[in-house]
Chain A
Amino acid sequence: MTETTWSPSGDFKIKDFVVDSGTFQPSLIAPNQFSKVDAQELAEVGVFFDSDERSGTFVVQDHHTLCAQSNVEGVEVLPIAEALKKYDWLAEKYYWKLIDPDTNKITRWCADQKIPQGYFIRVKAGEKVEYPYQAALYTANANIAQAIHNIVIIEDDAELTLITGCATHHEITSGVHMAVSEQFIGKRARLTNTMVHSWGPKLSVRPHSATVVEEDGVFESNYVSLRPAADIRSAPKTWLNGDRASASYYSVILGSKGSQILSGGEVYLNGEDTSAELAHRAICTGGQITQTGILTGSNRCRAHIDCSGMILDPGKKGFIESTPGVRSQHPEAMMSHEASIGKIAPEQVEYLQSRGIEEREAISMIIRGFLNADIEGLGEELDARIDEIAELSGHGEPD
């Protein structure tokens, strides 16, 4: 019999892992000073140390910030601890202002760090950053409990694409990654946040993300989990407070044997004529995937949530559970939801085969299509990850 869905509350003891005291901070280094091995691991999650097409690089390795560099004058990047010292207004107006530090033991742990690790990124008003900024949150040693706190401020009329790659060294199988991210998007500003995860098989991952969007601001969030951890519980919150603000979430999850993944999301459509779209895509080759989320409309707005799952090989305990939700508190809130879970239809595979395409390639094409369906404007980085997932799924997961 299939197990029931677990509740999204922490079920590991942080102190069972290497917590470090966070009492010292090594000197920062340049991106080209990282080892070849580390560079390769991070390239997998979209972080390239040798690329000219990045506006800067930030790296936290285990418990320490090693790199905080910006190539663009209008983009200020600092380790969060340094930023808190430099700017009094950061703690007053932004730090722990979207997330309550006492939400749960994860947030409490992050709040109690003596030297908090994570990035402070501020894109100054009017700065439209051409190339993506890249940040790596990297676990290089075994059994690390990594605690992160990130703040992103996109000032009025500014634009940034942020790629956050989270990965473990390929020999590391266990650990904990805890992250708090607070993001502020100003008037007519835009933040595209592409997050790519590639974890060891026994990692527990607990991101807590919150974003507030002002008038005419745009927030796009793409999340790809390529090699799922033991368990991931992600339910980012967004408040569309300004009129005509918009948010779109797109998540791609590959659930493999033994993993438990909760992919949620909450969007509060408070401003007039705001819009939100939340799309979850999951492929189950074993493991348990829960797709959820709720959109709440309290003004004239449009919102749609769509959960789609494809079951390839669930094994004995694997499943996909989809519960998209909408809550309307206004007569002119137009809200809709849909959910579908299915397998790859054999007639679709055979149709492509009848055009001379090999069965395996036909399956990959269909999976790639399923993950891409109706989603436009994906970056190359995300496309590359989707190709990998399609390839992996088409060939089946090794036991």
Chain B
Amino acid sequence: MKNILEIHDLNVSVNGEEILHKINLEVPEGEVHAVFGPNGSGKTSLMMTIMGFSNYKITSGKIIFEGNDITDLGLTERARLGIAVALQRPPTIKGVRLRQVLDYAYSQNPEIEKELQELIKANNLEKFFERDINDGLSGGEIRRAELLQLLATRPKFAMLDEPDSGVDIEALELIGEMAKRLFSIDICHPADRRSGLIITHTGQILDSVYADKAHVMLEGTIEGCGNAQIVLDTICDAGYSQCLTCIKRKAHQS
């Protein structure tokens, strides 16, 4: 299977300080990978770098998307190629309504507006439309507003930054449903999926979205990968250090 995303030996700095070191990552088309790691290990920085936020300076290495080198492309160009991220802490923009961003997305893909109507109604999402972007929203509401934007832009590669953190059970159910919809190309054929990355601490979102693989990040680098459920179980049982030992042993044996 072709890789939709490849990252080769990527080093990234923020304000002159290197925060990601020698990152290597491959995500095949149609696969969703989870990213685990303790706070401050570089998970969010990795997503921000893939998206192209300007604070994250690539000092060496390459990002390949659908076979093309996008290392030097700007944010808008990457978004238009089909990369999108649902941020954990998006900025508030006074005076700019969520509807304006959705209208922009609909103008690019007019048929999506119809497709999303049912989901919007069922989840009572209209109430966010006329509000300033992310202004006064709870954690769960922010995640739903972010996911709605991703659903409307219909990306080829979707990244979710901790969609299940700080939300109550009811909201988690709605977020899970939206995430599931996001990664489904055709609801009747669950095996056909959009690709992406999901950062999660608790793994709750993985009850709704099947992760093909998990990567573990520690201190700014990807230390290993493996079966998502086994990696998660090991982290929960014995913490990151044990998980890492386990992954490394497995890598050594193979």
Contact = CB atoms under 8 A, between A and B. Distances in A.
Whether A and B are associated in the same complex: the answer reads yes
Interface of A: 345-348, 350-359, 365-366, 368-374
B165 interface: no
Interface in B16-31: none
B153 interface: yes
Contact of A358 (B51, B76, B133): B76
Contacts, number: 69
A355 B155 CA distance: 10
A353 B94 contact: no
A369 B105 CA distance: 19
A187 to B, nearest CB: 35
13 contacts: A345-B91, A348-B91, A348-B93, A350-B53, A352-B93, A354-B84, A355-B153, A366-B96, A368-B95, A369-B132, A370-B95, A371-B95, A373-B94
B166 interface: no
Interface residues of B, number: 28
B38 interface: no
Given A352-B96, A354-B75, 7 more contacts: A345-B91, A348-B91, A350-B53, A354-B85, A355-B101, A356-B108, A366-B93
Nearest to B100: A365
B138 interface: no
Interface string B129-142: 00011000000000
Interface string B25-66: 000000000000000000000000001111000000000000
B93 to A, nearest CB: 5
A370 B95 CA distance: 6
A352 B101 contact: yes
A369 B93 contact: yes
A354 B93 contact: no
A349 B149 CA distance: 16
Contacts of A368: 95-96
A358 B153 CA distance: 15
B248 interface: no
Contact of A369 (B54, B85, B95, B149): B95
A355 B95 contact: no
A353 B75 contact: yes
B140 to A, nearest CB: 19
Which among B52, B101, B105, B108 has the highest number of chain A CB atoms within 10 Å?
A: B101
Contacts of B91: 345, 347-348, 351
Contacts of B79: 353-356
Contacts of A348: 91, 93, 96
A356 B105 contact: yes
B76 A369 contact: no
B90 A351 contact: yes
A365 B75 contact: no
